[in-house]
A and B are shown apart, each in its own frame.
Chain A
Amino acid sequence: MIGHVIKYQRDNIDTDVIIPGQYLKIHDYAELATHAMEGLDPNFHSKVKEGDFILSGRNFGCGSSREHAPIALSHSGIKAVLALSFARIFYRNAVDGAFLLPIEIDETAYQNISEGDEISIDVKSNEIKNITKNQTYKMKPFSEIIGKIIEAGGLFKYKPD
């Protein structure tokens, strides 16, 4: 998976800024996507491209249980969010609906990857390659169940062995 990075260097990006409450009534995902990140970055919709990644700090996706948050990002084209840590409900929502990959990274990756860098993510080898800067970082491997749900393509496709 290869894409460009949109970086928000801050902790605690909450689901209210990812998709503000007033839009939770919207059922059309394409329309929902036009409001993604609106609470934090009104330019997000115009700059995001299919296949992009978001990079951010600790506790990404904290707050509400709204699955609209990963849905809005996913339908904006975001394939993965790389963060130092995630809030639990956002993390599961991202995986359960196969909306995007929540990738836990370390401080080195966080500090070295810049806005606009082209990176590739390999979840088999748990490696992130920064193509722009020619660097390699480690990602935290998925736990067993998360890995299996991702592999299956979502919670409803997952069949326990």
Chain B
Amino acid sequence: MGKTLFEKIWDAHVVVEKEDGPSLIYVDRHLVHEVTSPQAFEGLRMNNRSVRRPDLTIATMDHNVPTNDRSLPILDQISKIQIQTLEKNCKDFGIQLFDINSPNQGIVHVIGPQLGITLPGSTIVCGDSHTSTHGAFGSLAFGIGTSEVEHVLALQTLWLEKPTSFEIKVEGKRKNIHAVTAKDIILSIIKNIGTAGGTGTIIEYTGEGISDLSMEERMTICNMSIEAGARAGLVAPDEKTFDYLRNRKYTPKNYESLIGDWRENLKSDSDAKFSKSYTLNIDNIAPQVSWGTNPGMTCDVTDSVPNPEDYSKGDQNQKQAAEKALEYMNLKPDTPITEIKIDRVFIGSCTNARLDDLIEASKVIKGQKVSDKVRAMVVPGSQMVKKQAEEMGIDKIFINANFEWREAGCSMCLGMNPDVLSPGERCASTSNRNFEGRQGVGGRTHLVSPVMAAAAAINGHFVDVRNLDLN
């Protein structure tokens, strides 16, 4: 019987395998950031351990770094200590660090691919759930906790139970590729399979709807696999993948000689068995807007806020969850999505802050101004994205429209740095989680694509971007 792509990568990384038991899996790349690593390094010190493969370990600071002027001192003393601790740890243990002043600093999942650290067929871990992003390159990439971070630092391996393979086939063609984006595809998937629909699985995204996507769009899809409960998302590498990684800063010297094997082997066999499958046709999907407090609580921009009674289809738990969500979001059932007024716009995060995201969003706002009721900000995913955008004049389009143009970091995606919503504020956000309080205590998040967020900034409420000229 054939193997799935996931099984091939897994098998190639098994160090020890126990029958019906866990496997010890080798880790090719370990990405480290300031928030989930301090206790892990502390553990190494306490036990007199070193980092086994500092050459396979790369660090940056992204979660709590300020996104305003980098020449200014960091005012939050606790953040400052966390940032200094990572600097010291990287120095002590011989790990390459892209610090706050590095031109390569950025969100760990944006810089990995940009620097050619992410490679097809490799295993990648990081103490961050959105590590699944790297799966867009056909690498098995997943988030781990701090104890596991310590384990990988010390041993370059992890004890894991083997997940199963879940195929999500995306069929059809979007009619307007500027208005209906990868974000709308993944939100549609989560809306349909639920936030636990992928639990215990590695999702492999297949079909024309995926192969048509750019690498940046595929990253958006894989990024949110974790919001469907999956451990990771995967896309089989193709020529787009190989082209993207060519001539990056850390692309291996023998890169061209690796491609032949990847092209040949890094795909699921035609007779491979998936434990589960789901198909989405995207011919007619609409831009998506989340209305509730988890990413599965999402609907079309042309819909209205659902009535908990209808939404739950008789499931009392669901009904209660929808009622609580609407209460938190301060929304009334049957309100058209396009009538929801917003206070803030956040274009950023590892989901949607790459160069293409910013280019697409800029098309919406060219020559226009942000509504005077809205405060809008753009936080590029990395300093490299920021620089490229500035070279293209994209920054000017945002700044002229009264967007704030900031330095790279996770920023308002998780509200660890000063970029937070005030209680009650409503935000159109290109990030990945609309959990209660995620973007600040009492803040209300609506997940949308970059073009939807930009259009909401101009209009002060959601609009169907299919009606705009985006070419």
Indicate whether A116 reaches chain B with its CB closer than 8 angstroms: no
Q: Is the CB of A66 within 8 A of B36?
A: yes
B145 within 8 A of A: yes
Nearest neighbor of A93 in chain B, beta-carbon distance = B145
Interface assignment of B89: CB less than 8 Å from any CB of chain A: no
- Is residue A22 within 8 Å, beta carbon to beta carbon, of the partner chain? yes
Cβ-defined contact, A25 with B78, below 8 A: yes
Q: What chain B residues lie within 8 Å of A27 (beta carbons)?
A: 38-39
In residues 147-161 of chain A, which contact B (Cβ within 8 Å)? Answer: 149, 154-156, 158, 160
Distance in Å: Cβ of B8 to nearest Cβ of chain A: 21
Q: A87-B229, A92-B145 are in contact. Are A59 and B199 (CB under 8 A)?
A: yes
Question: Looking at chain A, what size class is its interface with the partner chain?
Answer: 35 or more
- Indicate if B317 sits at the interface (CB-CB under 8 A): yes
Which residue from A22, A88, A144 sits with its C-beta under 8 Å from B416?
Answer: A22
Q: Is the CB of A93 within 8 A of B147?
A: yes
With both chains docked as a complex, state the minimum distance between the C-beta of A56 and any C-beta of chain B, in angstroms: 11
Q: Which of A50-106 contact B (CB under 8 A)?
A: 57-59, 62-67, 85, 87-89, 92-93, 96-97
Which of B15-23, B260-268, B273-281, B395-403 lies at the binding interface? B15-23
Chain A residue nearest to B439 in the complex (CB): A21
- Cβ distance A149 to chain B, nearest Cβ, rounded Å: 8
Please give me the residue from chain A that is nearest to B440 by CB atom: A22
Our pick among B18, B195, B200 for the contact of A12 (Cβ within 8 Å) is B195
Which B-chain residue is minimally distant from A29 (CB atoms)?
Answer: B39
Residues of chain B within 8 A (CB-CB) of A85 are 196, 199
**Smallest Cβ distance from A90 to chain B, in angstroms?**
8
Tell me whether A30 is interfacial, beta carbon within 8 Å. Answer: no
Q: Does B161 contact A (CB under 8 A)?
A: yes
Question: Of B38, B148, B229, which is within 8 A of A96 by CB?
Answer: B148
If A11-B321, A24-B416 touch, does A17 touch B199 (CB 8 Å cutoff)? no
Q: Give the distance in Å from the alpha carbon of A17 to the alpha carbon of B293 in the complex.
A: 11
Q: Is B82 an interface residue (CB 8 A)?
A: yes
- Residue numbers in B under 8 Å from A88 (CB-CB): 199-200, 229, 231
Minimum CB distance partner of A27 in chain B: B38
Q: Is the interface of B mostly helix, strand, loop or mixed?
A: loop
Partner of A155, one of B47, B64, B159: B159
Chain A nearest CB: distance from B379 CB in Å? Answer: 15
Measured CB to CB, the nearest residue on chain B to A20 is B437
For chain B residues 112-147, which have a beta carbon within 8 Å of chain A?
A: 127-129, 143-147
A154 contacts across to B, CB distance below 8 A: 147
Inside 8 A of A67's CB, which chain B residues have their CB?
A: 36, 39, 127, 145-147
Interface contact A92-B148, CB-CB below 8 Å: yes
Asked whether B436 is an interface residue with its Cβ less than 8 Å from the other chain, the reply is: yes
B216 interface hit (Cβ, 8 Å): no
Nearest Cβ in chain B — how far from A25, in angstroms? 4
User: Does chain A have a CB within 8 A of B87?
Assistant: no
Instruction: Please determine whether B159 and A65 come into contact, CB atoms closer than 8 angstroms.
Output: no
Inter-chain contacts of A144 with B (CB < 8 A): 18, 20-22
**Residues of chain B with a CB closer than 8 A to A9's CB:** 317, 320
With both beta carbons as reference points, the residue of chain A lying nearest to B230 in the complex is identified as A88
Q: Tell me if A156 and B436 are in contact (CB < 8 A).
A: no
Cβ of A10 within 8 Å of any chain B Cβ, yes or no, is: yes
User: Any chain B CB within 8 A of the CB of A108?
Assistant: no
Known: A11-B321, A87-B199. A96 touches B129 (CB 8 A): no
Report chain A residues within 8 Å CB of B64: 24-25
Return the CB mask of A120-158 against B: 1 if under 8 Å, else 0.
000000000000000000000001110001000011101
Within 8 A of B (CB), among A1-25: 9-12, 14, 16-17, 20-22, 24-25
**Distance between Cα atoms of A93 and B148 in the complex (Å):** 8
**C-beta contact mask, B441-464 vs A, less than 8 Å → 1, else 0?**
100000000000000000000000
Mark contacts of B36-76 with chain A using CB atoms, 8 A cut-off: 1 yes-contact digit, 0 otherwise.
10110001000100000000000000011000000000001
When distances are taken between beta carbons in the complex, the residues of chain A under 8 Å from B24 are 160
A80 to B428, CA, bound (A): 37
Q: Is the C-beta of B414 less than 8 angstroms from some C-beta in chain A?
A: yes
Beta-carbon contact of B145 and A59 below 8 Å: no
Contact across chains for B294 and A14 when beta carbons are under 8 A apart: yes
CA distance A16 to B293 in the complex (A): 11
- Expressed in whole angstroms, the Cα–Cα distance for A154 and B196 within the complex equals 26
B435–A63 CB distance below 8 A: yes
| B30 contacts A by Cβ under 8 Å | no
Distance in angstroms from A135 CB to nearest chain B CB is 21
20 more A-B residue pairs beyond the given contacts A16-B414, A67-B39, with a C-beta to C-beta distance below 8 A: A12-B195, A14-B433, A14-B435, A16-B436, A17-B437, A20-B415, A22-B416, A24-B416, A25-B79, A63-B129, A63-B433, A63-B435, A64-B414, A65-B36, A67-B36, A93-B147, A143-B22, A144-B22, A155-B148, A156-B47
9 contacts between A and B (CB under 8 A): A12-B196, A14-B294, A16-B433, A65-B144, A88-B200, A89-B129, A89-B144, A96-B145, A155-B148
Binding site for B on A (CB under 8 A): 9-12, 14, 16-17, 20-22, 24-27, 39-40, 57-59, 62-67, 85, 87-89, 92-93, 96-97, 143-145, 149, 154-156, 158, 160
**4 tightest Cβ-Cβ pairs between the two chains A and B:** A96-B147, A93-B145, A145-B22, A67-B146
